[in-house]
Amino acid sequence: MSLPDAVAADEPAAAEKFLFMAPVSKTPKKIQFADDMQEFSKFPTKTGRRSLSRSISQSSTDSYSSDSSDDETSPRDKQQITSKGSADFCVKNIKQADFGRREIEIAEQEMMALISLRKRAQGEKPLLGAKIVGCTHITAQTGVLIETLCALGAQCRWSACNIYSTQNEVAAALAESGVAIFAWKGESEDDFWWCIDRCVNADSGWQANMILDDGGDLTHWVYKKYPHVYKQIRGIVEESVTGVHRLYQLSKAGKLCVPAMNVNDSVTKQKFDNLYCCRESILDGLKRSTDVMFGGKQVVVCGYGEVGKGCCAALKALGAIVHVTEIDPICALQACMEGFRVVKLSEIIRQVDVVITCTGNKNVVTREHLDRMKNGCIVCNMGHSNTEIDVTSLRTPELTWERIRSQVDHIIWPDGKRIVLLAEGRLLNLSCSTIPTFVLSITATTEALALIELYNAPEGRYKQDVYLLPKKMGFIDCRCPC
């Protein structure tokens, strides 16, 4: 499928004026589609709010103004206001805002591309009038992105796409600055959907016209619960492979009534975020949560896309014996050429010490695999959501769950065998550690440019389909010095 005819040779993209180079050729690009690899996911069953009797946050600033009684109270049950009197938010502890502000300021030092875009474009306010509802990880780096969008004229309401990845102090800082944010570390499934709903269904009558999503949960919620809002959306920006698959499912079914931008498959996201970010954060997450030594360990990495490549390279460098499972023959051959043994998971599962999923798909590690694992095997996910590992199958009466430390559970079988499950099968690097700020700057800038492009594009340029972000829009990220 070609770009719309409306994109003429003399008509620059809406976001092109903010690039750091002379305009490049305006030759229409072809839209790239990913294969439909999974079904359009359904909502998890709402299981109600779980007890917050123990703090499960791992942030170094959790103790700033928190005590045991604070940890036992759900943020939904607390009345909090900012110094300016606003109550349109829900975070763990608004008193942590000062610490969160310092973390955001530290992140800004490494996010040169995003700060450059903010300085270059804030005079023109290219997002003036945009009402962006977002569902992403809430970290210091995301805080810089959200404040950049606000500086460019947007109004934002935000929730978390992962129940364990929110930095509570950053959420507090964003709330104090006036952002309507609903997120805290350790949400239940019911809390998760409540936070998304509060972002979309604002009491003030605020109605979103743009979506920035990570995983597709927000898009799915708006589509299912608020069709009148969905029809008014001007554009969707999706940054994860799982969310992109769900968009293609909507498009294939003829239910995608707005243009969507696929950031996940952009050159900058694939070549920097997915590869280099995971190459560093996989080791950080495993070390912090398990204190494991990698030399001589047998590791299987499920999936050899950019995320899998980064994980394999890092583990190999520290002396691990790395095996790879991969269904794509080209990626499998790449793994072989790098010296990794390509196997079936069922063939190697009894031998390995660590299992890492990196596919973005679901049920990659099943209960059958889990039953056959050796005692002490570490199981974790670097892909997306909590569906790659069949964690639900482990919640049965015959198995015992034992919380060892924050985000680390031992699952004990009747015969005494135990496996080590990290972050309940959710993203390891965002739940058990942190990720490199510099790399996230590239992805965040790409997302900001995609929002600018969709919001300012003339009517008819983008039809109701999924588009790949033009490569030239990624150049701004690479022009900033390392």
In a domain, 339, yes or no: yes
Pairing of strands 400-405, 408-412: antiparallel
d(CA 431, CA 427): 6
Residue 273 labeled ligand binder: yes
CB 246 within 8 A of CB 360: no
Q: Are residues 360 and 465 in the same domain?
A: no
Q: Are residues 198 and 223 in the same domain?
A: yes
Q: How many domains does the chain have?
A: 2
Confidence band for 203, pLDDT divided at 50, 70 and 90 = confident
Nearest to 171 by CA among 137, 201, 197: 137
DSSP designation for 43: P
CB 340 within 8 A of CB 397: no
Residue 307 labeled ligand binder: yes
CB 203 within 8 A of CB 111: no
Q: Are residues 251 and 359 in the same domain?
A: no
Residue type for position 188: S
Residue 388, judged by CB atoms within 10 A of its CB (0-12, 13-18, 19+), counts as buried
CA dihedral 49, 53, 56, 58 (to 10 degrees): 130
Residue 95 labeled ligand binder: no
Report the interhelical angle of 168-176 vs 97-110 (nearest 10°): 100
Neighbours of 215 (CB within 10 A): 25
Give the H/E segment covering residue 309. Answer: helix 306-317
pLDDT digits (tens, 9 = 90+) for 220-275: 999 999 999 999 999 999 999 889 999 999 999 999 999 999 998 888 887 787 78
Residue 344 labeled ligand binder: no
Q: Are residues 255 and 116 in the same domain?
A: yes
What is residue 266's predicted lDDT score, i.e. its pLDDT? 85
Confidence band for 308, pLDDT divided at 50, 70 and 90 = very high
Nearest to 474 by CA among 310, 262, 311: 262
Contacts of 469 by beta carbon, 8 Å cutoff, 6+ apart: 261, 262, 263, 266, 446, 449, 450, 453
Residue 309 labeled ligand binder: yes
| Encoded tokens for 169 | 């102090």
3-state secondary structure of 225: helix
In a domain, 41, yes or no: no
Residue 326 labeled ligand binder: yes
Residue 186 labeled ligand binder: no
Q: Are residues 215 and 85 in the same domain?
A: yes
Check pLDDT > 80 for residue 102.
Answer: yes
Residue 460 labeled ligand binder: no
What is residue 216's predicted lDDT score, i.e. its pLDDT? 94
pTM of the entire predicted model: 0.78
Domain range for 231 is 75-269+435-474
Q: Are residues 247 and 316 in the same domain?
A: no
Handedness of CA 202, 139, 135, 151 (dihedral sign): positive
What is residue 127's predicted lDDT score, i.e. its pLDDT? 97
pLDDT digits (tens, 9 = 90+) for 58-77: 343 333 333 333 457 899 99
Q: What is the CB-side half-sphere exposure of residue 272 using CA atoms within 13 A?
A: 21
In a domain, 243, yes or no: yes
Rg for the chain (alpha carbons), in Å? 22
Residue 219 labeled ligand binder: no
Residue 139 labeled ligand binder: yes
Tell me the CATH number at 245: 3.40.50.1480
Give the H/E segment covering residue 356. Answer: strand 354-357
Tell me the CATH number at 324: 3.40.50.720
Q: Are residues 163 and 304 in the same domain?
A: no
| Encoded tokens for 107 | 């992140």
Q: Are residues 254 and 122 in the same domain?
A: yes
Residue 131 labeled ligand binder: no
Q: Which residue has the higher pLDDT, 452 or 271?
A: 452
Q: Are residues 247 and 303 in the same domain?
A: no
What is residue 470's predicted lDDT score, i.e. its pLDDT? 77
